[in-house]
Structure 1
Amino acid sequence: MNMASAVEPSRDDTSTAWWRGAVIYQVYPRSFQDSNGDGIGDLLGIAQRLPHIASLGVDAVWISPFFTSPMRDFGYDVSDYCDVDPMFGTLADFDILISTAHRLGVKVFIDLVLSHTSDQHPWFKESRSSTDNDRANWYVWADAKPDGTPPNNWLSIFGGSAWAWDGTRCQYYLHNFLTEQPDLNLHEPAVQEMLLNVSRFWLDRGVDGFRLDVINFYFHDQELRDNPPLPPEERNPITAPAVNPYTWQNHIYDKTRPENIDFLRKLRTLMNEYGAAAVGEVGEDIRGLEVLGEYTGGDDKIHMSYAFELLSDHMPTAEYIAGVFSQVEEKAAQGWVCWAFSNHDVPRHLTRWKLSEAGARLFNTMMMCLRGSACIYQGEELALPEAEIAFEDLQDPYGKKFWPSFKGRDGCRTPMVWEPSNQNGGFSSGMPWLPVSHEHLNRAVSLQEQDPSAILHHYRRAIGFRHAHPALQYGTLENMQAVGTVLSFVREYEDEALFCAFNLSADPGAIDMPEGNWRQIGIELGSGGPAPDGKLHLGPWQPALMMRVGD
C-alpha cells in the first residue's frame, strides 16, 4: 500500500498547508467551562481554559456552535448566524477568545451549519408566510400528494418523515433533522450568496477556518424522487442508529447531490482569500470515503473531511484499519482525511471499545502516526469514559426519541472535569446543565497534572512526537500490513522515513523487522525495539517507532 499523493506539500508549502497533519481539539462549549455560574459553558470560559488546550501542543481548536439559537438541537439550529447566543456570551467575548487563542499559537475553527436553520430564523419566518415573498424559495417547499401525504419517502435522521406540514403555506417543508430545523434551498443563488456572506463575516472576525456540519446535505434532488430501499445486508448505520429506519434507504436523492461540488468551490475560493481551511463532515452510510475523496481531492474544494471509519462501534483491529486505508487509497488518494475516535455525537471510545487506559494510550500514539489530520475531543486526553445519564436528566432530543434502545448523545457531552474538590469538577459554581459524572472526578485535569504517569502527559508527548517529525504530518504512508494483532507501516517525507508498528491487543505480538538500518525512537511513548532474533516483540498495547538511518 502506497498512499502517496499528487498534492503532497513541499517543505516550502507547509506554512500555507498548515492544516495537513494538524491536530485539532474539539470543544463542546456548553460543557467546557462556565464563567458566570449559570451551569452552562460559555466563550469566556473557553478563553479561560485555552492555556490547557495550548499546553497539549494542538494546532487548532474547533468550537461547536455558539450562535443565537432556540437550542432545540443545542446550537445546531441557528436563528442568527452572525451573533452569539446570550447563554454563551457576546461578540466581544468571541473577540477575546480569538485574540487569546492566537496569542497562545492556537488557530480557531468554528462550526458552521449551512444546510439548515432554526424554524425561528427570520429567513424561515418570512419564507413560510406566503408563497410569493422575497424569501419564499429560500427553503425546500413542496406540495402534498393528492392524498395529503408528504411529497416523497425521504426520512429524517431524527426519526419519521423528513417533511413537515405548514398550515400557512399549505405545503410541506423539508427537514433532514428535527422538525424545527428546516432545510435551506441552496439551489437558490441568493441563499448561496447569503451563506458565503456569513462565512466572510466570521473570517473578517479572525477565525482561521470552519468545521462544516453535514457538508453533503447542502443540496436535494429538485425532482423530489423517492430514495430506493436498501436490503438489510447493505445497511450501514453510520449517520443514524440501527433502530432508526433512516438506514433502510439508499439516500441518493436527499443528499450528496452533484450540485454540491460547485458550491464547495465557491466556499474554497472565499477561504483562500484569508488563508483559512475547513474540515467537512460527510454524513454518508454507503459511499463515505468516495464522497470524501470527491470533496477534498485537488486544491479547489474542501481541504479535509471527517472520516467515520474510526468512529465505529467495535474496536478497530489491525486488519480492519489496514482495510480502511486500502479503501482510502482506492477512493480518496488525492483527498485528505481527518481522523477521530470520539466526538460530540458518539459514545466516548474508551467505553465504546471497552479500552483499558493502556489501550487508549496506544490508540492515541497510533492516531498521531497515521496519514491525515487528527481531531481529539475534549476530555479524551483525560481518558474519560462515557457518562451514564438517567432518563430524567436527559437533554438530547435524539435520545428521548429512541430511548432506551439508543440513549442519545448526552453521555459524551457532560461537563469537563478540571478539579475534584466539588461535585461540579470545577466546571461551574452553579448547577450544571448535565450532571458531572462522579467517575470522571478522579480523572480531573488538576490531578493528572500532578501525576507524571497520567495519560494527559502521554497525549502531550504523542502530539509533540507528531510535530517533531515532518514525515508524520505530511509524508506518504507505505507498506501498511496487518500481521495478527500488529499493524505496521512506513511514513516518509523528503529525507525522513519512520517505521511505525502497533500491537492492538492486550496480548503480546511479534512481527519481522523491516529491511534496512533503523534506530529506535519514541522511547517516551513506550516504543519497543528489535530483539536479537531480528523480530519486534511487542507487549500488550505497545508501539514500536523507528527511524531509518544511513543508506
Structure 2
Amino acid sequence: MTSFRPAPSWLADAVFYQIYPQSFADSNGDGIGDFAGITERLDHLAWLGVNTVWLNPCFVSPFGDAGYDVADYLRLAPRYGSSDDLARLVVEARRRGIRVLLDLVAGHTSDQHPWFRAAVEDPDDDRYIWAPEGHVPDGFVPSPGTRPGAYLPNFFAFQPALNFGYGSARQDEPWRLPVDAPGPRANRAALRTVMDHWLGLGLAGFRVDMAASLVKDDPGKRETAAIWTELRHWLDGAHPEAVLLSEWGEPEVSVPAGFHADFFLQFGGPTDGLALRSLWSNGEGTVNEAWDPLDCFFDAEGRGSPEPFVAAWRAATTALGPSGFIALPTANHDFSRLNCGPRTADQLPAAFVFQLTWPTLPAIYYGDEIGMRFVPGLPEKEGSVLGPRYNRAGSRTPMQWDDGPNAGFSSAPADRLYLPLDPAPDRPTVAAQRADDTSLLRLVRRLIALRTGAAELGPDASVEVVHAGYPFVYVRGGRYLVVVNPCREPMRCAVAPATTVRSLESDGVTIDGGTVSARGFGYGVFELTDARAGSAPQT
C-alpha cells in the first residue's frame, strides 16, 4: 500500500451532513436555496452536533444535471450567491466547529465549458476523448462543432468525459491516448489548480464525484488509482489538513489509491452496492431496473439480514487497515431516503441507532434527521430521471423547517420553488421535533453526542457481533452493547450475561440475565459496567 501522510486527526470524529444546496434554505425568495440560506441555518447543524458538511456542486453550470455539468470550476453559480457569500458560510461554519467540503466533478465537464467549446473546433485538442471522422463507436456522440468525429460522454450526452487516457491500447482505436499524453497531463494539472483554489479559500476538502471514472478501459482501475495517488501526495504537502472523500463505492480500491474515505453506495464494488442496499433499499423510490431484487435488513417484515453488510464491511475494513475510513450514508441525492415506500417513521430510530454506533463515518442526508420522506411522482427536474423507476427528484425536495409558508424553506410563491414540498399534512418539521423530547430529531442529537463523547463508538474501536439477525446485537469497544430490531415483530436472542448494564438510550429493549428482548422497531444502547456481553446461541 502506498505510504501517505496520516489522515487529519479531525476526520475520525467527523459526523457528515450532506446539503443539497438548491433545497436547503432560500434567503432571497427566488425559490432556490443558496449560501446565505445555509449560513442562516448553521445553528441547526451545530445544535444537532454535526461537524462536517459537504455541498453538492455549486459551480457555474447550465444545470442539465443539477450542477454536475460544470461550465467553470473557478466560478460559483449565481443562483447560490457570490464568492463572498461562500466565504462567509465557511467562516461562520468554522466558528461553530463545522468544516465545509465542496463537490468536485473530476471526470467530465459541461458541453458549455470553454475547454469543450475549444475542442469542438480544434482537431488537435486532446483534453476530451475524440474518435476521428467516420467513427461513432458505441457510447460516443457526434461532434456538435466543426471538428469531425465524435466525443465520449461520461454520463449524459452533455457531459463530455475529460481525457485522462486509456489503461489499455488498441491499434484499431487510435483515439486511446496513454495517460501521459499532453491532454491527460493537462487535465491532471487542472485538477490540482481547482483543488488548490478552493482549499486556499478555507474549504476543508472535497467529495469527488464519479471518482473511478477517469481513465477509460482501466483494468483493476490501476491507472485511475495512480492519478489519485499522485494527487494525494500533492495534497499531503500543500494542504495536509484537507480530505478527499470518494464517490467510488469500493473502499478496498479507492482508499489505498489516496482517498481518506469512501462511501458505501447503492452502486460500485464487486457486489454492486450490496453493502448499502442490503441495509436500506426496500424496492421503492430510486430503483435501478438492473438491480437484483433483495430483502433489506431494515424491513418491517423481517425478511433481511445484516450479514451481507457485515461481510462487505469486514472485507473492506481488513483491506484498509488504519489507512482510511468507510462512510455510511443514510441516503444521498441519487438514492431513496430512509423514509421511503412502505417504511414508516417509527422504523427510523433503530436505523439511526445502528448508523451512529457502527464503526463507520456517519453521513446524514439533509432532512433525514427529522424523517423527511421520499416524495414519489414528481416532475423531472434538472436531469433527475434516470429510468422508469429512478426519479431522483423525490430525494431532493425542500427542507422542512417549520409549519409556516413553504415549510420555512422560502418566501417565494409555491409554484416557484425549486421542487414541490412534500404534500403530506403530517410532514415532519425541525421546529416541531425540536419541541418534542421524544422526536427522531432529539434522538439523533443524543446519539451524535453519545458517539462524539465516547471513543469506543468511533470508527477505530472494535466491534463484536453478538447476534447477526433480528435483533442485531453487537458490542463496541468492549464497553457498549447495541441492540436494534428493524422488524415489527418482537424478537429475542441469548447473550453471555453481563453483571451490570446501564441503559443510555433505549426504547422497547430489555436485558434479563442472558436474554435480550426487543419489541418491534425497538432499539437500545447500553453501557457494560462490570462484564462484557458475549455471544451465545440464539433462542
State the shift of 1:550 in Å.
4.2
Q: CA deviation at 1:440?
A: 6.8
What is aligned with 1:468? 453
Of the candidates 313, 318, 327, which is equivalent to residue 328 of structure 1?
313
1:502 and 2:498 aligned: no
After superposition, what is the alpha-carbon deviation per residue over 1:197-228, rounded to whole angstroms, capped at 9, x for unaligned?
1001111010112111111011113xxxxxxx
Q: Deviations over 1:155-186 (max 9, x none)?
A: xxxxxx35444442212111121111111112
Task: Look up the match of 1:296.
Answer: 255
Report if the CA contact (8 A) 2:479-2:527 is conserved. Answer: yes
Are the aligned partners of 2:129 and 2:151 in contact in 1 as well (CA < 8 Å)? yes
Shift of 1:527: 7.0
1:269 Cα deviation from its structure 2 partner:
2.4
- Alignment equivalent of 1:539, drawn from 503, 513, 519: 519
Give the Å deviation of 1:384. 1.0
Q: Is 1:220 the counterpart of 2:179 in the alignment?
A: no
In the other structure, the counterpart of 1:451 is 436
Shift of the 518–301 alpha-carbon distance from structure 1 to 2, 3 Å rule, reads farther
- Is residue 2:82 matched to residue 1:101? no
Q: 1:511-530 counterparts in 2 under 5 A?
A: 511-514=493-496, 516-523=498-505, 525-526=506-507, 528-530=509-511
The CA deviation string for residues 431-489 of structure 1, in whole angstroms up to 9 with x for no partner, is: 21211122276412122222222211111011111112111113344432545412122
**Distance (whole Å) between structure 2 residues aligned to residue 448 and residue 343 of structure 1:** 22
CA pair 370-84 structure 1, distance change in 2 beyond 3 A: same
Letter in 2 for 1:346: F
- Which residue number in structure 2 is paired with residue 351 of structure 1? 340
1:397 pairs with 2:350 = no
Does the 8 Å CA contact 2:16/2:54 hold for their aligned counterparts? yes
Residue 409 of structure 1 aligns with which residue? Answer: 392
Say which of 76, 83, 98 aligns to 1:84: 76
Describe the superposition over 1:199-258 as per-residue Cα deviations: whole angstroms up to 9, x where unpaired: 01111010112111111011113xxxxxxxxxxxxxxxxxxxxxxxxxxxxxx66xx631
**What are the ranges of 5 or more consecutive residues in structure 2 without an aligned counterpart?**
165-178, 266-274, 283-294, 299-303, 532-539
Give the C-alpha shift of residue 503 in structure 1: 1.3
Q: Deviations over 1:333-387 (max 9, x none)?
A: 24321101311111212115x2222210110011011111011111101111111
Task: Give the structure 1 partner of residue 355 of structure 2.
Answer: 367
Aligned AA (2:373): P
CA RMSD of aligned residues (A): 2.4
How far is 1:543 from its partner? Answer: 2.1
TM-aligned CA deviation for residue 112 of structure 1: 0.7
1:68 aligns with 2:57: no
Residue 118 of structure 1 contacts residue 182 of structure 1 at CA under 8 Å; is this kept in 2?
Answer: yes
- Distance in 2 between residues matched to 1:59 and 1:432, nearest whole Å: 29
CA distance in 1, matches of 2:243, 2:519: 40
Distance 1:174 1:71 in 2: 20
In the alignment, what sits opposite 2:272? none
SS at match of 1:351: coil
SS of residue matched to 2:464: strand
CA distance in 1 between partners of 2:296 and 2:381 (Å): 30
Matches within 5 A, 1:131-530: 131-132=123-124, 136-143=125-132, 148=134, 150-151=136-137, 153=138, 161-186=139-164, 187=179, 188-221=184-217, 257-272=221-236, 273-274=238-239, 275-282=241-248, 288=249, 291-297=250-256, 301-308=258-265, 309-311=275-277, 313-314=281-282, 316-317=296-297, 320-335=305-320, 336-352=325-341, 354-391=342-379, 394-399=380-385, 402=387, 405-422=388-405, 424-430=406-412, 431-439=416-424, 442-492=427-477, 497-514=479-496, 516-523=498-505, 525-526=506-507, 528-530=509-511
Aligned-pair CA distance for 1:79: 0.8
Report the residue type matching 2:340 in the other structure. Answer: T
User: 1:338 aligns to what SS in structure 2?
Assistant: strand
Query: How many residues get paired?
Result: 473
Say if 2:24 and 2:37, in contact at 8 Å, map to a contact too: yes
Q: The residue matched to 1:530 in structure 2 has which SS?
A: strand
Q: Percent identity at matched positions?
A: 28
Distance 1:169 1:440 in 2: 55
Amino acid at match of 2:209: D
CA–CA distance in 2 between the matches of 1:85 and 1:440?
34
Change (3 A) 1:96 1:527: farther
Moved more, 466-475 or 325-334: 325-334
Contact 1:30–1:42 (Cα < 8 Å) also in 2: yes
Distance between the aligned counterparts of 2:146 and 2:427, measured in 1? 54
Query: Do the aligned partners of 2:504 and 2:525 also contact (CA within 8 Å) in 1?
Result: yes
CA deviations over 1:126-183 (Å, ceiling 9, x no partner): 1221122xxx111111226xxx4522x4xxxxxxx35444442212111121111111
Alpha-carbon separation, structure 2, partners of 1:317 and 1:546: 22
Distance 1:79 1:97 in 2: 23
Residue identity in the other structure for 1:512: A
Distance 1:21 1:115, change over 3 A: same
For normalisation by structure 1, the TM-score amounts to: 0.81
Gaps of 5+ in 1: 1-6, 154-160, 222-251, 283-287
Match of 1:236 in 2: none
Aligned CA distance change for structure 1 residues 527 and 35 (closer, same or farther; 3 Å): same
Is the 1:415–1:436 contact (alpha carbons within 8 Å) kept by the matching residues of 2?
Answer: yes
- DSSP 3-state at the match of 1:81: strand
SS in 2 for 1:348: coil
> Are the aligned partners of 2:306 and 2:468 in contact in 1 as well (CA < 8 Å)?
no
The amino acid that maps onto 1:305 is D
SS class of match (1:259): helix
Alpha carbons 1:497, 1:547 under 8 Å: kept: yes
The 1-side partners of 2:500 and 2:141 are apart by: 60
